[in-house]
Structure 1
Amino acid sequence: MDMGIRGREAIVCAASKGLGRGCAEALAGEGVDLVINARTKSELEATAEEIRKTYGVNVTAVAVDVTTEEGRKQVLAACPEPDIIVNNAGGPPPGNFRDWNREDWIKALDANMLTP
């Protein structure tokens, strides 16, 4: 499918695996250049290289904690005027939501809704 976003720039947070990586690959498949972020540099760099090779787009990896002020500054310095932002900084622990406590929910809301 052509979404008409080829040549755009996107920031995708928590992109070394899981949902963030899936979003990054979907955007790369549409021809979007990426700034991807995660905390673990080795995993992030490996993901960036795989996306570059598979999709032929530019990928910049920024290994920082995006939930911190400094982390956000570094991500935005790599892509100061993004066309697309996928704010994905983790969530409650995997499993049944009935098992999550209030602290789990507050942490997820803070990371994904208040941090930006």
Structure 2
Amino acid sequence: MDLGISGRWAIVCAASKGLGLACARALAKEGVNLVINARGNDTLQTAAEELRQLAPGIEVRTVAGDISEPAVREQVLAACAQVDILVNN
């Protein structure tokens, strides 16, 4: 399916597993660049590597930490070139 969103930027919260990772996979397949966030750095890095292999042409950036913390939110926003899509899982 081509949604016409290739090259856009998405922030996906809680993206290391489950619904968040499923959303990140779907966006990656559409060619969307990703900033993914989760509390656990190890699982987040594993997810990022999977996404990079799934869609080699996209950029995947990671920010580990609790999104409810203001400093983490600022890091997530700073990592994203522009916010076109938000998955607040």
TM-score, L = length of structure 2 = 0.95
Q: Distance in 2 between matches of 1:63 and 1:69?
A: 13
2:9/2:81 contact within 8 Å kept: no
2:66 is the alignment partner of 1:65: yes
Q: Distance in 1 between matches of 2:59 and 2:65?
A: 19
Aligned length: 88
DSSP 3-state at the match of 1:36: strand
Specify the code of the residue in structure 2 equivalent to 1:45.
Answer: Q
Shift of 1:71: 1.2
Alpha-carbon RMSD: 0.8
Shift of 1:77: 0.8
Where does structure 2 lack aligned partners over 5 or more consecutive residues? none
Larger proportion of strand? 2
Deviates more, 1:20-29 or 1:78-87: 78-87
Q: Distance in 2 between matches of 1:80 and 1:13?
A: 16
Q: Which has the higher contact order (CA 8 A, sep 6+)?
A: 2
Where does structure 1 lack aligned partners over 5 or more consecutive residues? 89-116
Q: Distance in 2 between matches of 1:86 and 1:65?
A: 15
